[in-house]
A and B are shown apart, each in its own frame.
Chain A
């Protein structure tokens, strides 16, 4: 479905026609050169090797992704944020945290690992017809649950005990592949927030032109395209065709989440999944591109500098502190430098999180979260010092239970 107003996009001057790697079952004549890129106008499709009937309703070939446009750091007020378009599906994601748990008391935000919370809001104007989101919609709940569970295994949640990461997703426009778009947007925003993760969690949808049993291999030769799997479905295609949403971790064939809600012959699964996983690889490259192209704001550069200064000096400082508590051997100190504002500092079973908070312009507060070695259990210590070449004041404080 080519939307009549779809080709105008704020903040973007590019048009992409993306194509995933060819999947194994097709003849090589269909494999097109990858990732063609044009400016400002709709690209005339090369249909010489392709009859019109084998194009999809919006003019894509079977293995083409829709145009993906993404940005990070779109919201100044959030710790991490992203804006993602997959065709006409548009989502905004803001991330707050990792921060102290929202719920008071021992519950919530507690535990040994980061508590990931996902909220999804469907805007009333996002669909074709205006519809208010009903409270407690199970479909939305399931999507939020899927994103939470997938991120739980992809983020290094053990680095942030007793902390909460609130991810809030807003759907501005829906046109198929909603869950996939939400997952991709959440990943981008988490990277932007500086939450360490194993690899990108990326997702896309794959479908099939027919739900029946796949034809035996010898029939493949005079294939008319009616048995083809297709990549990245629009809302119209999702209504008509069986499809799946698959999320993978990084560019390998590691499936983090798989959601199928339609009925089709079991023999179709592996080719659909193959196309879906290929699509995820392509999405991963695009996400990488977005991260590389993300403009570095002056604030983020300054924060990065500050972070580096602190990391260098703090390692020494902390070791001194632990020594002074009577530790018998130098505890192994591992510094995990996180992409942006924060520093995670792993130290012998205890986790320290440094948050450079510019107080009065020069002082930074280091917040210790978690338990230290059993030896130091119950200790409460504090330290002040200057560090770095410019003599920034840093207060280090920790309270352990």
Chain B
């Protein structure tokens, strides 16, 4: 999955080939030895608070250990549904006001809701809003939000009106490392704390809402009929050798062989499952659902290889010429074994690594669950 944006712009690597090589070799050990002594699935401490702004429906602030910080605000506004023909179409299908009943109704909601109801914007200091990086980041985050389709159904009011969800994310500091996980966790928290005013009108009436803010309902309810599902999170995972490393620091990104952004969410308990197991506890741990997986161009691609002085630039060229056999020439050309201190990774991700990543992220005792639990404690 090739991506347009890369980490390179903001994460220049100022490490020498020797340092890179040292980092790389200690991270390929089993178990990996990380520069800050964490285990491979351990996160750095972060500061998070939710519901910090009174002007927004939901808001959150997250501070990562490296000093990067983001604030997200969620605004939810009523908007007239543009697609009149769709609404008219639906009106032909349905005779009376009972169209939103369970089962048949929820399918209809899914048909009528649209992707444009969710809008995400990312602001990064020093970047224009139409620069590749903010647009790309906003794209990944929106994609994750829309993936399950449950969020947009929740924005449905009636056939003529819907909620429009705006997620604005502000990066307050310079993007020191790749800001995607930071932005994603901030969005997650903001959405968890987002409230919508209580609807007091019914059916196809013009929507009317309760003035009582205390009666407002959570966009992601924690109790009740639809409790259970949570907004998605996007984690950054790095592979080095056979190791999978979560929450990579800047140094670790610099030697990463591949960087993968994994979007996950916790699916709501399906009605069938609920009816089957009446006392299904929503707090029990469940497997997470994988929403998307995309590789991101790691900054390590741009590091220059360290060539020993005995194999300087001029002799390096000779390697190709003096190769005895064609296989040796390929080895030389591909830089697989050139006796270098450090050779920048070529990228690519082995299939078994993908499986491993998904398992690590989604299993019920996995990292994804851990992060979601931790964030739920913040709100």
Contact = CB atoms under 8 A, between A and B. Distances in A.
Chains A and B touch (C-beta atoms under 8 A apart): yes
A125 B123 CA distance: 12
Interface in A71-108: 75-78, 88, 90, 92, 94, 96
Interface stretch (A2-10, A192-200, A348-356): A2-10
Interface string A164-180: 00001010111100000
Contacts of A125: 53, 55-56, 59, 73-75, 166, 168
Nearest to B130: A135
A119 B125 contact: yes
Given A4-B213, A132-B121, A127 B170 contact: no
B284 interface: no
Contacts of B170: 121, 123, 170, 172
A130 B77 contact: yes
B73 A6 contact: no
Contacts of A8: 51
Nearest to A128: B55
A170 B166 contact: no
A359 B121 CA distance: 39
B18 interface: no
B182 to A, nearest CB: 12
A124 B121 contact: yes
A5 B57 CA distance: 11
A158 B63 CA distance: 35
Interface residues of B, number: 32
A129 interface: yes
A372 to B, nearest CB: 31
A132 B122 CA distance: 11
Given A94-B173, A124-B75, A172 B53 contact: yes
Given A75-B67, A124-B75, A124-B166, A170 B52 contact: no
A119 B74 CA distance: 23
B204 interface: no
B162 to A, nearest CB: 15
Interface residues of A, number: 33
B176 A88 contact: no
A129 B77 contact: yes
Contacts of A127: 55
B338 to A, nearest CB: 31
A126 interface: yes
Most B CB contacts (10 A, CB to CB) among A76, A92, A126, A130 go to A130
Interface string B105-133: 00000000000000001010100110000
B52 A75 contact: no
B289 to A, nearest CB: 28
Main secondary structure of the interface of A (DSSP, over half): loop
B71 interface: yes
Given A10-B52, A121-B123, A75 B69 contact: yes
B75 A75 contact: no
Contact of A5 (B125, B176, B213): B213
Interface in B138-193: 166, 168, 170, 172-174, 176
Nearest to A132: B121
Contacts of A168: 125
Contacts of A94: 172-173
A6 B125 CA distance: 28
B205 interface: no
Contacts of A123: 71, 73, 123, 168, 170
Nearest to B72: A125
B176 A77 contact: yes
A124 B63 CA distance: 20
Contact of B55 (A76, A119, A126): A126
B370 interface: no
B49 interface: yes
Given A124-B166, A170-B170, A90 B123 contact: no
A174 B55 contact: yes
A173 B176 contact: no
Contacts of B328: none
Contacts of A173: 53-56
Interface string A1-24: 001111010100000000000000
Interface string A43-66: 000000000000000000000000
Contacts of A92: 71, 172
A127 B73 CA distance: 11
A118 to B, nearest CB: 13
Task: Specify which of B54, B55, B59, B129 lies most central, judged by the most chain A CB atoms within 10 Å of its CB.
Answer: B55
B210 to A, nearest CB: 13
Contacts of B69: 75, 77
A126 B56 CA distance: 7
9 contacts: A78-B67, A124-B166, A125-B53, A125-B55, A125-B59, A172-B71, A173-B54, A173-B56, A174-B55
Closest 7 CB pairs of A and B: A125-B73, A77-B67, A124-B168, A76-B67, A130-B75, A125-B56, A77-B173
Given A130-B75, A170-B172, A172-B73, 15 more contacts: A75-B67, A76-B63, A77-B66, A78-B173, A121-B125, A125-B59, A126-B73, A127-B55, A129-B75, A129-B77, A130-B168, A132-B121, A135-B129, A172-B71, A173-B56
